[in-house]
Chains A and B, each alone.
Chain A
Amino acid sequence: MKAFIAAVVAAILLGVAAMLALTSNQKFAYQAFATSGARVSEPGTNLVGPRWNGDPAPDEFAGEPHGKAEGAASHPKRS
């Protein structure tokens, strides 16, 4: 029984270690594939949100516009 419990604990620890190692090297798609000339998406306003969970504006991203255009928006002139 001790060997079994130790095996379960070791599996969990190795799994968590793998998770930390793998996620530390990951980037969001808009970070990995965006260039100065191409914006992949606009996190916070896309359909699935920056975490791909359907939440379009989680709190931790509220203060990070991530490439949103700054300044006053241009409007077409009306005659």
Chain B
Amino acid sequence: MRRALTLLSTLLVAGTLWAAPGAVAPVQAQNPIQADGQNPMGARPTADSVNEEFLFKQAPKITGRISIPDQKAANLIQPQGREYQMFREGWLPWIGALAILGMLGLLALFFLWRGRIITEHSQESGRKILRFNAFERFTHWMTAVCFIILSLSGLNYIFGKRLLMPLIGPDAFGALAQWAKYSHVYLAWPFMFGVAMMFVVWIRDNIPNRIDWEWIKAGGGIIGSGHPHAHRFNAGQKGVFWMVAGFGAAMSVTGLMMLFPFALVDINGMQVMQVIHSLIGIAFIAGILAHIYIGTLGMKGAYDAMGSGEVDLAWARAHHDLWVEQEQARTASGPQLRGRPAPAE
């Protein structure tokens, strides 16, 4: 009996071992990976699946499908955005700080070295000549006032949250930044209008010529004590004019792209516009700082040209001698000269 039971058990185990491979065969058939890890069909589901690298070979960004009309919302991954963010949050504050503080430092050093440029007294001192008429001054100041507010509100985009918010708190900074944004967006229009008007009004006197090269070679009267010849605008002033025209146009175009987002450019274009706008804006501010310096602190008598419109004739003779001769020849006894009558020449 015991032997029969043992024999029966042995047969049962043997049968089980024989039938087991057949029982798991369907399961094995579902998994084509063999013992050596290779798929006999040659497929590599994980490696061959759609991935970022594959999609970026087809297009510069990965998009999905959406049901709302705003197709921009379908954008899922745009690698250039990371580069833009690195520039916006990493490089831009340093570039801005170095450019603006660097210019202020250079101007301070120049002032310490050169001091205030003063015109020597002459027989013509005390007499006035009209340098800029009321319309020219109006155009200049409208553009200048807008530029100062645009500059401060523009710098707030870069430095506000870093420098101002810790000082005044997030609530006050939030309100200030909102109004700064309004002023930036809306005062951009009179600024653009002012740049266009200045371009039309002054381009005739800002065409570069041979005298400008002589002025530059002579150091412009800034380096040294002499005053090279100059027409209504010297080479330095012409440089400011063309800087304002060029930078103003570039800021206007890139600014309009941002005022009307995605109207003509896609997300990558928007980021490029912001990069150009910010870099030119910083260079613009640095350049205008030098313009403000030489027009106020750096040169005695220069501010009167845009303040009252009239400058001292001795100052005009020293800095713009060819222009003075031209004006006196044109209106020797006319309304250009005030004070004592102009001597006949």
B125 at the A/B interface (Cβ < 8 Å)? no
Q: What separation, in Å, do the CA atoms of A10 and B145 have in the docked complex?
A: 11
Contacts A11-B187, A14-B189, A16-B186; A33 near B69 (Cβ below 8 A):
yes
Closest CB-CB distance, B315 to chain A, in whole Å?
20
Q: Smallest Cβ distance from B145 to chain A, in angstroms?
A: 5
Query: Is B146 in contact with chain A by the CB < 8 A criterion?
Result: yes
Most buried by A among B142, B144, B194: B142
Contact A37 B67 (CB under 8 A): yes
Stretch from A1-9, A55-63, A68-76 contacting the other chain: A1-9
Stretch from B133-141, B152-160, B199-207, B288-296 contacting the other chain: B133-141
- Of chain B, the residue at the smallest CB distance from A39 is B68
Cβ-neighbour of B68 out of A8, A17, A33 (below 8 A): A33
- Contacting residue for B145 out of A11, A16, A40, CB 8 A: A11
CA A70 – CA B27 in complex, angstroms? Answer: 54
Cβ contacts under 8 Å, A47 to chain B:
none
Residues of A within 8 A of B68 (CB): 33-35, 38, 40
Q: What is the minimal beta-carbon distance from B23 to any residue of chain A, in angstroms?
A: 43
Bound CA span A64–B326, Å = 70
> Which A-chain residue is minimally distant from B67 (CB atoms)?
A38
In the complex, are the beta carbons of A15 and B69 less than 8 A apart?
no
In the assembly, what is the distance between CA of A2 and CA of B139, in Å? Answer: 12
Distance in angstroms from B308 CB to nearest chain A CB is 8
Q: Are A3 and B137 in contact (CB under 8 A)?
A: yes
Take A33-B69, A35-B68, A38-B67 as given contacts and tell me if A4 and B137 are in contact as well, using a CB distance cutoff of 8 Å: yes
Per the CB 8 Å criterion, the residue count for chain B at the interface is 27
The number of residues on chain A lying at the interface, defined by a beta carbon within 8 Å of a beta carbon of chain B, is: 22
Q: Does B183 contact A (CB under 8 A)?
A: yes
A33 vs B67: C-alpha distance in the bound complex, in angstroms? 10
Chain A residue numbers with a CB within 8 Å of B190 are 10-11, 14-15, 18
B70 to A, closest residue via Cβ: A33
Residue of B nearest to A13 (CB): B190
Q: From residue A38, how far is it (CB to closest CB) to chain B in Å?
A: 5
Contact of B186 among A7, A19, A38, A40 (CB under 8 A): A19
Least CB distance from A32 to B in Å reads 8
B126 CB within 8 Å of chain A:
no
**Can you report 14 residue pairs joining A to B where beta carbons are below 8 Å apart?**
A6-B138, A7-B139, A7-B140, A7-B145, A8-B142, A8-B145, A11-B187, A14-B189, A15-B183, A19-B186, A33-B68, A33-B69, A37-B67, A38-B68
Listed in ascending order, the chain B residues whose CB lies under 8 Å from chain A are 67-70, 73, 134, 137-142, 144-146, 182-183, 185-190, 193-194, 259, 309
